């Protein structure tokens, strides 16, 4: 079971940037920083992009590894961090793990940060 991160209030996050509206408290800042840290790696950014671009079908570790040019073991390590941060989800099919986006989680993070939210 992936380690849970502190919850983000996705309801509050659905409209204009809480970050710019008032200073964030320590707990919220920690939750945001942990998610950003999970994303803040060039291989993980590419993995996110591959997974989000193949949202409907899911994509297996066996396809992700050659696409980013690292071993399946390294890809699995990166995917674990993205999964623990709630940014993707994984399901096992036969001998393969397939990954899908969790767009509501990534959108909430972006909307907390985005100072130009258009709503």
Q: How far is it, in rounded angstroms, from Cα 77 to Cα 75?
A: 5
Query: Using CB under 8 A, which of 16, 50, 60, 70 touches its own copies?
Result: 50
Cβ pair 90, 83 in contact under 8 A: yes
Query: Using CB under 8 A, which of 3, 4, 11, 22 touches its own copies?
Result: 22
The stretch near its own copies (CB under 8 A) out of 34-42, 70-78, 92-100 is 34-42
The stretch near its own copies (CB under 8 A) out of 42-50, 72-80, 88-96 is 42-50
Q: What is the CA radius of gyration of the chain?
A: 15
Task: Give the DSSP letter of residue 16.
Answer: S
Cβ pair 17, 114 in contact under 8 A: yes
User: Which H/E stretch holds residue 92?
Assistant: strand 88-93
Q: Please enumerate in sequence order all residues whose Cβ is within 8 A of that of 107, keeping only pairs 6 or more positions apart, or say none.
A: none
The stretch near its own copies (CB under 8 A) out of 70-78, 88-96, 97-105 is 97-105
Query: Using CB under 8 A, which of 21, 62, 66, 77 touches its own copies?
Result: 21
Q: By CB under 8 A, name the binding residues for its own copies.
A: 17, 19-24, 26, 29-30, 32-33, 36-37, 39-46, 48-50, 52-53, 55, 67, 101, 103-104, 106-107, 109-111, 113-116, 118-119
């Amino acid at each position: 079971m992936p380690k849970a991160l502190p919850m983000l209030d996705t309801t509050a996050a659905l409209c204009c940037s809480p970050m710019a509206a008032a200073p964030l408290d320590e707990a919220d800042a920690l939750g945001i920083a942990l998610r950003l840290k999970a994303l803040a790696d060039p291989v993980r950014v590419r993995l996110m992009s591959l997974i989000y671009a193949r949202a409907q079908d899911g994509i297996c570790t066996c396809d992700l590894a050659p696409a980013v040019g690292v071993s399946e073991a390294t890809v699995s390590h990166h995917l674990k961090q993205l999964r623990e941060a709630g940014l993707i989800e994984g399901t096992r099919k036969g001998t393969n793990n397939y990954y899908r986006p969790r767009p509501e989680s990534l959108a909430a993070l972006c909307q907390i940060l985005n100072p130009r939210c258009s709503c």
